A = this chain, B = another copy of it.
Amino acid sequence: MSKPFKRILLTGAAGGLGKILRDRIKPWADVVRLSDIGDMGEAREGEEIVRCDLSDKPAVLKLLEGVDAVLHFGGISTESNFEAIMAANIQGTYNLYEGAHKAGTRRIIFASSNHAIGFHKVTEVLDADSPTRPDSMYGISKVFGEQLARYYFDRTGIETVCLRIGSSFPEPKNPRMMRTWLSYDDLVEALRCSLMAPRVGHAILYGQSNNEAVWWDNSKAAFIGFKPKDSSEQFKHLFPDTGVYPDKDDAATTYQGGGFVNDGPQYI
């Protein structure tokens, strides 16, 4: 049986999530084109390897040729100095969309981040219409990407799902991640739904598993059909209940962005 797509591009294929996705997305395309600034090893069956710096515009334009859909996980995925983020995430994402536009690519799943809204308090519940409040240069670059996607949709019709990923790891590493955890299976399911839905326009989807306590409400993205199946409750024993409350003025537990709100411009 033929696969849904002829060619999907995965950027950031050598990154933490990129490695996880590399095998999981194979059923979706005859060819998976993998891209990263770092080493990705040998191409396996059904793979194309294209080493590429996203800030290199001609290279990125070429990278998009023949691509039906993109999973854009490339760029810098944590706080860094502004110039590095500008090159990789701002110039890089511009290059990607411009390449997609020239190549006729129809849909992009953009790995955005909860750090686009990290300066909201942990006692708020956000949805797709909540204003962005980035908590870092990294977060600002993610808002830039979401807005660039908004523009390309309004102007050219390229559809994007902006997946605001919480914390996608094998298991939660701290109490905050009990709320923000996104299991790998649920990440893959979010991507599958985002790629396969007939139309998505320009959508915001929060990437979180079916955890008990959460900060994000996906009801405005119900047309995508993402229903997470895992829950961080299985890891509850790792963080037993405690009556010790964080200090009233502790920013990292006050804001959704956690430690990011403390790593501002002055730290590099």
Contact = CB atoms under 8 A, between A and B. Distances in A.
Interface stretch (A15-23, A38-46, A153-161): A153-161
A192 B217 CA distance: 22
Contacts of A131: 129
Interface residues of A, number: 84
B91 A125 contact: no
A107 B3 CA distance: 49
Copies of this protein in the assembly total 6
A221 interface: yes
Contacts of A101: 265-266
Contacts of A224: 213
A24 interface: no
30 contacts: A4-B240, A4-B242, A28-B241, A28-B243, A29-B243, A83-B91, A90-B90, A98-B265, A107-B245, A122-B199, A123-B200, A133-B151, A135-B151, A140-B147, A140-B151, A143-B144, A143-B147, A144-B147, A154-B261, A155-B265, A156-B264, A159-B245, A192-B241, A196-B241, A199-B253, A212-B227, A213-B222, A213-B224, A215-B223, A219-B219
Give the top 6 A-B pairs by smallest Cβ distance, nearest first: A213-B225, A5-B243, A123-B201, A4-B243, A212-B225, A119-B154
